[in-house]
Structure 1
Amino acid sequence: MNNMLNSTFVSSPLEQFEIVTLLPLSIAGLNFSLTNSTLFMLIAFLVVILWISLSFYQNTLIPTNWQLLKESAYEVTASMVQENLGSKGEFYFPFIFTLHLLLLFCNLIGMIPYSFTVTSHIAFTFGLALSIFIGINIIGIQTHGIKFFALFLPRGVPLPIVPLIITIEFLSYTIKVFTLSIRLFANMTSGHTLLKIIAGFAWTMLSAGGLLAIFHLIPLGLLLVLIGLELAIAGLQAYVFTLLTCIYLNDVLEFH
């Protein structure tokens, strides 16, 4: 009986990342099924809209708690944009603010038990990073025209090594997509996996009974500490992803 209970409650740490189809839907041979990943992405989007709506409800000179949270998030993003993009960043601020909030709430919602962490999948983070990378390059080409491609050829390079330099510069430039996506994906996946392992370990000790049941408080206390750390990482990773987006955007606008 204990073995059955253990197998029920202590599952694989990686099971929480499994994408499950909730509503199968296929149109013209294309898969438009609703999955748990899609569902929690929509939930995060709706929570952002609700949070913003609550923040704007009855704004007062002395801010309410909702208004104070919104203003704090706004100030953090505005400071990030001002420091990295200057006055040019005002045009891109709505996108950057939306990106920051969406990633933040996706990370935080993933901390709720039995939920799903959208940012723990490389398919999402890579798709988002690639979309941003393509958009940034379009902005660079619109801003500088054909001169934008001089980014891959620094001045004063000897002619014989031009092909090598262009290759190196191109690879170092495109690697930004992977640094953006892998950093967020790896941090969220590893953190949630560790939490699951510690929780499973605590439950196994409790189920064993006897003296081990008393010592399960040790991994349980560690679990509480790790949850606090993971919450901090959730906010930090959303900030870092948004910050790197601002830095990469500034690189194509300034065009050093």
Structure 2
Amino acid sequence: MDQFIIKPLFGDGEIYWYTPTNVTFWMALTIISVVLLLVVTTRKRATIPSRSQSIAELTYGFIYKMVEDVTGKDGLKYFPYIMTLFLFVLFANFLGLVPMAFTTTSHIAVTATLAFAVFLAVTLLGFVKNGPAFLSLFWVSSAPLAIRPVLAIIEIISYFVRPVSHSIRLAGNMTAGHAVIKVFATFAAAVALSPLAILGVTAMYGLEVLVCFIQAYVFTILTCVYLKDALHPHH
């Protein structure tokens, strides 16, 4: 588990809030990667796009369609934030697969910050857009009247658990995947087991590439679902 230890970027010693660390370094690379994809590769806006511009346009269209399908037309004004969130998580996940890299999304502090930001934003938006009517989200009007209070308590608990599950799912999958890869890589040191271990590392690495995309997709689509609840609590 030493691959998940936060270390100062320069020298040793205690870590303070202003200390550059391996986390901040790879976060900076993540932000740079997002800027390169969305700004640098599309600055020419060519009619016949290059490969990099095509990737940026396909990503844009993919997330735009997701936001529109889940939240409706009302949610499109929040598309820039959701697009940025998706790309940040996606690049952070993929950069973590680079040998000797640090996977920032494996730390609950990072994923919890993203999840709680979404939770607070959609909750405030729900009250701003709907006022007290936002509380109807917790009142299941289609259920029999006798059990509605019980369902309301369950809905309230599940609502406040959202940022916890939202953050732990991403951090847990990233941590588990990288830990398994490290275990297989350790087995590769034994000559007798090295062919099987190398095959296992290759298979796990391929699976982790898929998981990196899926977890970014799940994190983003859950954000869209929470946004939909804030915009349309009666549905």
TM normalised by structure 1 equals 0.83
1:174-185 equivalence runs, <5 A: 174-185=160-171
Match of 1:87 in 2: 73
Quote how far apart the aligned CAs of 1:61 are: 2.1
Match of 1:5 in 2: none
Change in Cα spacing, 1:226 to 1:159, as seen in structure 2 (3 Å) is closer
Cα contact 1:25–1:32 (8 A) shared by 2: no
Match of 2:221 in 1: 243
Q: Which of 137, 142, 145 matches 2:123?
A: 137
Match of 1:231 in 2: 209
Task: State the secondary structure of the residue aligned to 1:57.
Answer: coil
Match of 2:30 in 1: 44
Deviates more, 1:51-60 or 1:172-181: 51-60
Match of 1:3 in 2: none
Change in Cα spacing, 1:103 to 1:161, as seen in structure 2 (3 Å) is closer
CA RMSD of aligned residues (A): 2.1
Match of 1:202 in 2: 188
Task: State the secondary structure of the residue aligned to 1:21.
Answer: coil
Match of 2:92 in 1: 106
Match of 1:120 in 2: 106
Distance 2:3 2:71 in 1: 38
Q: Structure 1 counterpart of 2:70, which letter?
A: N
Distance 1:242 1:229 in 2: 20
Distance 1:51 1:161 in 2: 48
Structure 2: unaligned runs, 5 residues or longer: none
Alignment coverage as a number of residue pairs: 231
Match of 2:5 in 1: 18
1:212-223 equivalence runs, <5 A: 212=192, 215-223=193-201
Q: Structure 1 counterpart of 2:201, which letter?
A: L
Distance 2:136 2:18 in 1: 41
Quote how far apart the aligned CAs of 1:153 are: 3.0
